[in-house]
Amino acid sequence: MTLVVIGFLWASICLYLLLGGADFGAGIIELFSGKENERKVKRIMYNAIGPIWEANHMWLIIAIVILFVGFPEIYTTISVSLHIPLVIMLLGIIARGTAFTFRHYDAVQDDWEKLYTKIFLWSSLITPLFLGIIAGSTVAGSIDRNGTDFVSTYIFSWLNPFCITVGIFTVTICGYLAAIYVIGETTNKDEINYLTRKARHTIIAVVLAGVLVFISALVDGIPLLQWIFGGTIGQVAILLASVSLLFLFFSFNKNKPNRLRVLAAFQIGMILVAVTYQHYPNILLFKDGGYLSLTQHTGSEKTMNSLGWALLIGSIFILPALFYLMYSFKKKDN
Amino acid sequence: MDDFLAARSQMAMSLGFHIIFACVGMVMPFFMAIAHYKYLKSGNELYKGLTKAWSKGVAILFATGAVSGTMLSFELGLLWPGFMQHAGPIFGMPFSLEGTAFFIEAIALGYFLYGWDKFNKWFHWFTGLVVGISGLASGILVVAANAWMNSPTGFDYADGVYSNIDPIKAMFNDAWLSQSIHMVIAAFTATGFSVAGVHAVMILRKKNIEFHTKAFKIAALCATIAALLQPLSGDFSAKDVAKRQPAKLAAMEAHFHTEANASFVIGGIPDEKNQTVNYGIKIPGLLSFLAHGDFNKPVIGLNDIPEADRPPVAITHYAFQVMIGLGMVLFFISALYMLALIKKKSWLQKKWLLKLFVIAIPLGYIALEAGWTVTEVGRQPWIIYNIMRTKDAVTPMPGIAVSFYIFTAVFASLSAIVIFLLHRQMKMVGRLYDVTAPSYQPKKKKA
């Protein structure tokens, strides 16, 4: 049952990145749109994410609940050592979630909307940045369990070049996913061209940020290259990701938005496989060489069983409803 | 401010903030579904407008509740890692089910808000109802988790080691039923009175009278039924607390000395030093009766609780008094309203009745927060009753005061914005939602 729980944990992180990440990306793209395109982008983005907006962010809650029920030691260690980035991320989530809803449900439209928009856009950037920093910190070996002073225990646990570049990489991935997903949301030729251009820019950004991650891993002495290319699964995943990127490039002008979406999601999923599988099941790597493992540091057997069943039964309710929700709103748009 | 106090304050504030939005999220969808049902049955466009107006409010409040709930799931670890490390696997069952319920709520809300004229109308109605049912389920599950902290069960404990864990037994602990019934009824009372009161204001101002009267009727009926039932559930809770947590009951009533024929104290200023209550009104025997159903049975006083295990008396006592007092006020208003509905139809047109509802706008929520304070402060100094002390659970991270100030600012501004937005929704009723109003001019759908 532990494996089922781990599967759900991985899946919810992956879906949060693919769906919630694209929501962040929508804000990021809007932030980097020129004045003349801002309104246009905002409208398209809103149509795309409105109905499933709340649901996309539930994946994070599922992941957290799995962590604190099934892997309490991992959850509490992260909570203590990464307190500061977690708080910043939470502030981002609060600001973004409320500002998004406020700007669309305000009965009166006036200058307040500009304020909500500003908050929404900046928090769309900051939240995934810190999510990436947190993700980077778990494997960077920078968490010092035996730290004695504040700075080394609570600051340098996450503040280093590697974690920051992973944060930036996460931001670019979010922007990329959003740009690809929304191409199919409009039928206007100009808008499609504009969004395609945006999507190409984000691909360049993803690649550049990815290179930065590798460089900073070298600088910080993290064996990232070996993790990713050291095993067959990683090599295959990276190969598949590259092939799908290639396909994606040739599909831009084919007017097949769903193919673009699937390819992009698949590509990012493969990247996630490549970066997570090699040090699996060790999810937290410490400065002193120790680690916390998903298979060893679990809750009691009974807990894992009931958690596993709760997740299985829950997904019977959630998944069909969610897919039908996405399907029925996409169908209408196309 | 020391870190421990800051951590407790931040947790109290986050929960106190979240609880309001969670309760609205539990109750408003049902009001919405009733209005929607009436629209589908009667075809009266006013009800459709009302459903839409309320659903906009739900969307705003749900979003706020969702993010504050997300925040809480992190805060448990950020502030109380010592607690979560052991408690997570034991009391996590309701949380994992709650995750599902919350997820379904979010999905159903998506269907409902964006599904007008898109789906079969009864399917659409049903999705609105699902929002309410899953919200209610989430609420009950979270309260069950809290109840476990009051009556921990489902594990063996010896020398700091938790073994033989049974998460299902932990979920159905002794307190879950009484606490969740009390909470659900409180949510209906508080939300119902707030909503009814706000619409009463508009009726008194003679704005969109027919629209607001329809809204008022739905909310007022739910609120008053709930308020009339609440004393029963309160009695159930009191007897339960007397059995499980005598220290909490003693603190609630500032009951310093164990005695038979114990008196129920109304008001008064507890003097912890001299172990007495000044200026209170005492009704002999009533406390014994309320706690044990027998006027002569002894009620354990604080003198029989080791000093280190006593909860703060003053806060618990005042909070309890506020809850009971406001509960009685709402009970009284509800009784009048019921009388008006059944016997004195002419009262329904009277201004004084509406004004009572206006006064009651905040009362339900104040009572609810007070009740929450009773159960949480009354459990101190324990985070897991009789097992783990709150001070042993707090994070080693220094400087929590800073985070407390930041979150205070965030919650204060969020509350202000939410109130401001709801106020604007109310102001726009004539334009956006009331088809009979001359100013009715709904927004054109954005292209």
Contacts of A100 in chain B (CB under 8 A): 63
Domain regions of chain A by residue span: 2-333
Whether B99 sits inside 8 A of A314 (CB atoms) is: yes
- Per-residue pLDDT, averaged over B391-399, amounts to 86
pLDDT at B186: 94
Model confidence at A323, pLDDT cuts 50, 70, 90, reads confident
Q: Please, which residues bridge with residue B264 across strands?
A: B283
With CA atoms as reference, report the closest residue to A123 among A144, A143, A149, A93.
A93
Q: How far is A230 from chain B (nearest CA, A)?
A: 34
Q: What are the tens digits of pLDDT across the range A36-47?
A: 676 777 777 776
What is the rounded (10 degree) CA torsion for B115, B118, B121, B122?
-60
Q: How far is B426 from chain A (nearest CA, A)?
A: 9
Backbone angles phi, psi at A242, to 5 degrees: -65, -40
What's chain B's Rg over C-alpha atoms?
Answer: 23
Whether B100 sits inside 8 A of A78 (CB atoms) is: no
What is the rounded (10 degree) CA torsion for B222, B228, B233, B236?
-170
Q: Cβ(B400)–Cβ(B10) under 8 Å?
A: yes
Q: What are the tens digits of pLDDT across the range A129-170?
A: 999 999 888 887 778 887 788 877 888 778 888 888 989 999
On the CB side of B387, CA atoms within 13 Å amount to: 22
Does a structural domain hold residue B417?
Answer: yes
> Which structural domain, as residue segments, surrounds residue B148?
24-244+379-396+411-432
Q: How far is A260 from chain B (nearest CA, A)?
A: 25
Q: Please, which residues bridge with residue B163 across strands?
A: B156
Residue A306 amino acid letter: S
Whether B103 sits inside 8 A of A154 (CB atoms) is: no
pLDDT at A196: 84
Model confidence at B331, pLDDT cuts 50, 70, 90, reads very high
With CA atoms as reference, report the closest residue to B49 among B421, B354, B357, B443.
B443
Q: Is the pLDDT of residue A63 over 80?
A: yes
With CA atoms as reference, report the closest residue to A268 among A146, A179, A331, A334.
A179
Q: Which long-range contacts link B112-121 to residues 24+ away (Cβ below 8 Å)?
A: B112/B55, B113/A51, B113/B55, B113/B59, B114/A50, B114/A51, B114/A329, B116/B52, B118/A328, B118/A332, B119/A328, B121/B40
Q: Cβ(A76)–Cβ(A46) under 8 Å?
A: no
Considering only CB atoms, A107 lies closest to which of B93, B396, B428, namely: B428
- Please report, for residues A27, A37, A48, A109, the alpha-carbon distance to residue A41 in angstroms, rounded to integers and kept in the order given: 9, 6, 11, 18
Q: Measure the CA–CA gap between B69 and A231, rounded to whole angstroms.
A: 40
Q: Measure the CA–CA gap between A290 and A295, rounded to whole angstroms.
A: 15
Mean pLDDT of chain A, nearest integer: 82
Mutation for B interface: A105, A152, A284, most B CBs within 10 A = A105
Contacts of A60 in chain B (CB under 8 A): 70
Q: Is the pLDDT of residue A333 over 60?
A: no
With CA atoms as reference, report the closest residue to B300 among B342, B262, B273.
B262
Q: Measure the CA–CA gap between B149 and B342, rounded to whole angstroms.
A: 43
* DSSP codes, A13-27: HHHIIIIIHHHHHHH
A211's tokens: 């290179």
Q: Is the pLDDT of residue B167 over 80?
A: yes
Report, in this order, helix, strand and coil percent for chain B, each rounded to 5.
Answer: 70, 5, 20
Is A62 in CB contact (< 8 Å) with chain B? yes
Q: Cβ(B255)–Cβ(B302) under 8 Å?
A: yes
- DSSP, res B444: P
Distance of CA B204 to the CA centre of its chain: 28
Q: Measure the CA–CA gap between A125 and A172, rounded to whole angstroms.
A: 10
**Which phi-psi region, left, alpha or beta, contains residue A265 (left: φ > 0; alpha: ψ -120 to 50)?**
alpha
Q: Cβ(B400)–Cβ(B6) under 8 Å?
A: yes
Mutation for B interface: A302, A313, A319, most B CBs within 10 A = A302
pLDDT at A334: 43
What is the largest distance, in Å, between two alpha-carbon atoms of chain A?
Answer: 60
Instruction: Tell me if residue B170 falls in helix, strand or coil.
Output: helix
Backbone angles phi, psi at B259, to 5 degrees: -160, 155
What is the largest distance, in Å, between two alpha-carbon atoms of chain B?
Answer: 74
Strand pairing of B161-163 and B264-266?
Answer: unpaired
Q: Is the pLDDT of residue B257 over 50?
A: yes
Residue partners of A331: CB distance under 8 A and separation at least 6: none
Does a structural domain hold residue B358?
Answer: no
Q: Of B146-155, B294-303, B418-427, give the lowest mean pLDDT range.
A: B418-427
Q: Is the pLDDT of residue A228 over 90?
A: no
- Give alpha helix (H) positions in A106-160: 112-139, 150
Whether A105 sits inside 8 A of B60 (CB atoms) is: yes
Does a structural domain hold residue B96?
Answer: yes
B71 vs B440, higher pLDDT: B71
Contacts of B432 in chain A (CB under 8 A): 107
Whether a cis peptide bond, with omega within 30° of 0, leads into A51 is no
Q: What are the tens digits of pLDDT across the range A258-278?
A: 778 888 888 888 888 888 877
Does a structural domain hold residue B184?
Answer: yes
What is the number of domains present in chain B?
1
Contacts of B412 in chain A (CB under 8 A): none
Q: What are the tens digits of pLDDT across the range A160-216?
A: 888 889 899 999 888 888 888 887 777 777 778 888 888 888 888 888 988 888 888
Whether A314 sits inside 8 A of B103 (CB atoms) is: yes
Q: What are the tens digits of pLDDT across the range B340-366?
A: 888 877 887 788 888 988 999 999 999
Does a structural domain hold residue B167?
Answer: yes
Q: Cβ(B84)–Cβ(B61) under 8 Å?
A: no
Q: Is the pLDDT of residue A237 over 50?
A: yes
Contacts of B110 in chain A (CB under 8 A): 51-55, 325
Q: Measure the CA–CA gap between A70 and A295, rounded to whole angstroms.
A: 10
- Please report, for residues A70, B201, B222, B349, B418, the alpha-carbon distance to residue B219 in angstroms, rounded to integers and kept in the order given: 41, 14, 5, 17, 20
Q: What are the tens digits of pLDDT across the range B188-239?
A: 999 999 999 999 998 888 888 888 888 899 999 999 999 999 989 988 988 8
Contacts of B388 in chain A (CB under 8 A): none
Model confidence at A48, pLDDT cuts 50, 70, 90, reads low
CB atoms within 10 A of CB A214: 16
Does a structural domain hold residue B189?
Answer: yes
Q: Measure the CA–CA gap between A307 and A203, rounded to whole angstroms.
A: 38
